[in-house]
Amino acid sequence: MKTIISGILLFVTLFLGNGLVFAQSGDEGAEPARTILRFTCINTSDDSIQLKSTLTVRRDEGSMNLANAVIQFYAVGIEEDVLISEVKTNYQGIASIKIPTLNSFPRGEMDLFNFKAVYEGAEKYESSESEFSLKPAKLKVSFYEEDSVRYVKVEGTQLNIDGTETPLAETDVNLLVPKMFSMLKIAELYLDETGIGSTEFPADIIGDSLGNLTVVASIEENDIYGNVRASADNNWGLQKHLISPDRPSRELWTPIAPLWMIITLIIMLAGVWGHYVYAVVQLFRIKKSAKANEHKS
């Protein structure tokens, strides 16, 4: 009996020992996690360019943001790259800086700036980098009325390498209004050869209690100008307290639930309580049947 027990203990010890060795060797040989660096540049209306990167880590269970990682921003040159700045990512994995539009960084073909974001990696994470090219440009948003009709006017200019400004011509511009979770597109206009475009302002856009709202003019992912944004405020929105309460909107994001949701909830609750009632009735029937059997016996 002692021999059998000793053999079992020896087998268990050898098995667990080999398991630990394999586990440790597997950890030592684990490859660094793959990282993804998304990089974009935005021409803003305050004569600056925003460099913004988002760093994520790709794992089997999904992607997650990588915080406190050092991102290096470079201006790509012909002979060598010029380091602009080093910035740590926040809890969302975002690192961003602003640089003046008028700067001494090198330009490439078609007067484009070529910027690069680099993450050098760490023991557990792979390195990654991304580039973005754009030409400095600027939008200006204004408002005017003509024959009792309200219009939005957008003027676009581009900054040349010699410091002169010329019209940002023949380009589409989206007009947006910020909402709680996203941007609502309200109109689209076209900049002519003079870099100017206008369109009628919609009359059904809701603002705050005073009708104030922000209008954003945006050029997205243009081959030359990249991303260009500008904004301006006005009080042309519908005042919230003037919206008629006689016609409430039944939406998921409003205090009044949609009818389909109310009906579904009623059916589900009726089914649950119906099962409870059925179970109670069956208990009374079983009890009554048991008493009847006792009287018979």
Task: Give the CATH number for residue 195.
Answer: 2.60.40.10
Extract the tokens encoding 244.
Answer: 């008629």
What's the number of domains the chain is made of?
2
144 and 170 within one domain? yes
Please say which residue of 220, 241, 262 terminates a domain: 241
Domain that holds residue 174: 137-241
End-of-domain residue from the set 241, 262, 284: 241
221-250 burial code (b ≥16 CB/10 A, e <16) = ebeebbbbbbbbebebbeeeeeeeeeeeee
Residues 150 and 116 in one domain: no
Q: Do the beta carbons of residue 51 and residue 79 sit within 8 Å?
A: no
For residue 11, tell me if it sits in a domain: no
Q: Examine the domain organization and report whether 150 and 227 are in the same domain.
A: yes
CATH number for the domain harbouring residue 97:
2.60.40.1940
Task: Encode the chain (297 residues) as per-residue pLDDT tens digits.
Answer: 444 444 544 444 444 444 433 333 334 556 888 999 999 999 998 889 999 999 999 887 788 999 999 999 999 987 889 999 999 999 999 999 999 988 888 888 888 999 999 999 988 999 999 999 999 999 999 999 998 899 999 999 999 888 889 999 999 999 999 887 889 999 999 999 999 999 999 988 888 888 899 999 999 999 999 999 999 999 998 887 655 555 567 777 677 788 888 899 999 999 999 999 999 999 988 888 887 777 776
Residue at 141: amino acid letter: V
121 and 201 share a domain?
no
